[in-house]
Structure 1
């Protein structure tokens, strides 16, 4: 499979390796914690980086529940077989590792080159800590006494975000010894490169695949959305159908309540009370507020699967928070695909496709909004809006009206609101005078927006008169440029 995208991530990794190549003082070695949700492509990214680096490297991938002695032997084998390391580390392949991690990592450090840079990758570090609670402290000792003295770039990878955060937190041994970087999915520009679609269609592909590499690469170059969905929905083992279920099973094994909360949000519930009510299902018992609150906290802060949005204006509104699935693919899967596996097994993929196509326009219109805001945050400030550093939306308690876009100097409480806007993501209905009049009417309700100018984001170009009345209008090609750097 050809490697596509990840230009920014590769640049960042190369800059860290550059610190090892040309040290400016302190320890010769550098360490970086690389985290990201399961199946997001961390391992593939780092493998590609190592292959391109031109320096010796060893890639060790832990196995879940593997006893620590076997893990240490596997580490020795990986280093002994590392690219360009056999001259230095070949003897490790015939050596029995010590009975603790400190001495084992010290032996690895001794086998690494002394005068040239090298890369050492430890993948799925949380699994090593699960089987040996002392691993974190041993890693700290081995780094301080042995590894950091070598010109080595140590990469620590993991999918358990909470455990990876703890690895470098203030009260843990490795604190202050490594940088941190979070690997996200492929961005919309990467998805466009893989699928070879135009900008508007590439955003559709991004909403469906979420940028998950293994899902995106199943898209044939230039293939229309309906054709891609038809192929995937016919096959109960297709990556589009199965990745969501596998992801939830890995993140929440036997966590039924968390699954109920995710499904409630995935079905469109956005408020705390609405989510609580929806978790009861048909005739079931809704989750009590005292039970729901910690689950939402875990989903937002630890798992980062759920995002919280606050209305943006110059007036605080902490009680008006809204929840949404942060993972774009999982949002699509929960809304459209969870039951499609059973349909595919009954050879009823066409029925699943018809159901998706029926709800697609309205679902897409809502799902594209956070993607648009992310794009504008990358594009702004610019010459037209030099003071816009925050882009959000605004709503009242009744969600009537809702304003899709608010550009301000800060958030969630702004000092000054500079623009209000609307997102119209229709295939064949341009933003027109009626849409502009509605936007202006809704903007009157946004606190602090008295001097704000109107803007729009449209999939289809607005008519000329309306375009002249807008302070700015961004279309798919404009938005995609936010990720093209």
Structure 2
């Protein structure tokens, strides 16, 4: 089975087994593994695959016709579709990858797809999968663009990033700490994982796959931001400022000189593409003590690039990648990875919650960001019972003082904890271990357990 995509394959299989014809729209960012997922699903089934290119409709038709063995000066969909059907009576799958490259330039394409699924060219059941890496187009423009053809869509499948568990399963030679560090750089994008190896430490992988001249990932962050967004210079400016700690709208206004209205529009676009997110605290009685209107870069690789490389690019040109890493990345890298550690811990708790292994059935979860401290994990059940968590990554051990800090922030949030989960990438001091033995509602969880 394809790593970490059991639910997605099951979704496609369930649709395939339905009677009649299906039209599925699958989408997700580049390098997320959509094509691998499709190939896994189509294995041992009758299917045809076409990758649409960014070109005119006529050129698209010529390319497609050439791939199915036609040699026509002006081919049409009506001549291509009958050619792609293989012999047999079982359900046939037609996959059109990056279909937005056709839809954006064609008024006819979707009408012909509707004709295809309505058996105009054949008399057998079919399943059409329209796949796209243009997340913004699918979520914001597709339905308007294709009009009534949208009623023919029988399902949408968003292919999202994989979790920390899948990454740690791929890099088995790494310690769990190294896996957290790598996850903080590459996130859950398997297409980026292929460029690194657990035969090399994290520093070596960053130097070789990201910082080295000619490295595949050296231009990835800026290319990814620019592929769906106009005016990349404006977006790069905003991202560079957020990475430097300017996380509120007014801070960005003062730093960039752009109007607040303009910044708001660009932040909205970045949020829709899941590059940036607006952080919100869970609602508590201490809402007046919570920070509001904070933005952060959600995409780990984009965050890493703008945090460490973008502002220091001139130095990278003049230094070896190892020298650059040691001077500009190493001093702050531990603190950077610590910011991602709560994401890993929340994923762990989500798995326990789904398996029914938490003391409460969490219905909503998040965090609380105060003016003088943060509660890394906050989860509640329907009755209002609360589970809180604190995550420590940078210290050699989590201490009783860290626990007292959590209690202090809880007072600011005006929330009480029925259960407390403390996560540490190191050890726990003796006082905390004694406390956990005495108090049954306190759990100590080490990195190795994740």
Interval containing the TM-score (normalised by the shorter chain): 0.7 to 0.9
The aligned residue for residue 95 of structure 2 is: 121
1:118 CA displacement: 3.0
1:198 CA displacement: 2.5
User: 1:195, 1:465 → 2: CA distance?
Assistant: 34
8 Å CA contact 1:32, 1:154 repeated in 2? yes
Residue range with higher mean Cα deviation, 381-390 or 303-312: 381-390
Partner secondary structure for residue 324 of structure 1: strand
Q: Deviation per CA, 1:414-464, whole angstroms, max 9, x where unpaired?
A: x725122211012x52111111111111111213x2354332121123235
8 Å CA contact 1:128, 1:135 repeated in 2? yes
8 Å CA contact 2:24, 2:128 repeated in 1? yes
User: 1:224, 1:276 → 2: CA distance?
Assistant: 40
User: 2:2, 2:349 → 1: CA distance?
Assistant: 20
Q: Deviation per CA, 1:123-155, whole angstroms, max 9, x where unpaired?
A: 111111222244334433433344796333322
Specify which of 261, 278, 295 is matched with residue 266 of structure 2. 295
Specify which of 385, 407, 410 is matched with residue 379 of structure 2. 407
Residue range with higher mean Cα deviation, 140-149 or 218-227: 140-149
The aligned residue for residue 34 of structure 1 is: 26
Query: Is 1:422 the counterpart of 2:394 in the alignment?
Result: no
User: 1:420, 1:187 → 2: CA distance?
Assistant: 21
8 Å CA contact 1:406, 1:417 repeated in 2? no
1:96-111 correspondence runs (5 A): 96=72, 100-101=76-77, 103-104=78-79, 106-108=81-83, 111=85
Partner secondary structure for residue 388 of structure 1: coil
Partner secondary structure for residue 416 of structure 1: coil
1:292 CA displacement: 1.4
Query: Is 1:436 the counterpart of 2:436 in the alignment?
Result: no
The aligned residue for residue 51 of structure 2 is: 61
Specify which of 180, 184, 189 is matched with residue 156 of structure 2. 180
Partner secondary structure for residue 454 of structure 1: strand
The aligned residue for residue 419 of structure 2 is: 453
The aligned residue for residue 5 of structure 2 is: 9
Residues 1:69 and 1:386: Cα distance change in structure 2 (over 3 Å): same
Query: Is 1:350 the counterpart of 2:335 in the alignment?
Result: no
User: 1:185, 1:475 → 2: CA distance?
Assistant: 25
The aligned residue for residue 482 of structure 1 is: none
User: 2:150, 2:121 → 1: CA distance?
Assistant: 13
Length-normalised TM-score, structure 2: 0.86
Aligned residues: CA RMSD: 3.0
Q: Deviation per CA, 1:320-376, whole angstroms, max 9, x where unpaired?
A: 142211211111111112256654443432332112110112222223333433443
1:253 CA displacement: 4.3
The aligned residue for residue 389 of structure 1 is: 363
Specify which of 335, 344, 363 is matched with residue 307 of structure 2. 335
Partner secondary structure for residue 192 of structure 1: helix
The aligned residue for residue 85 of structure 1 is: none
Length-normalised TM-score, structure 1: 0.80
Residue range with higher mean Cα deviation, 143-152 or 435-444: 143-152
8 Å CA contact 2:392, 2:425 repeated in 1? yes
Partner secondary structure for residue 185 of structure 1: coil
5+ residue gaps, structure 2, are: none
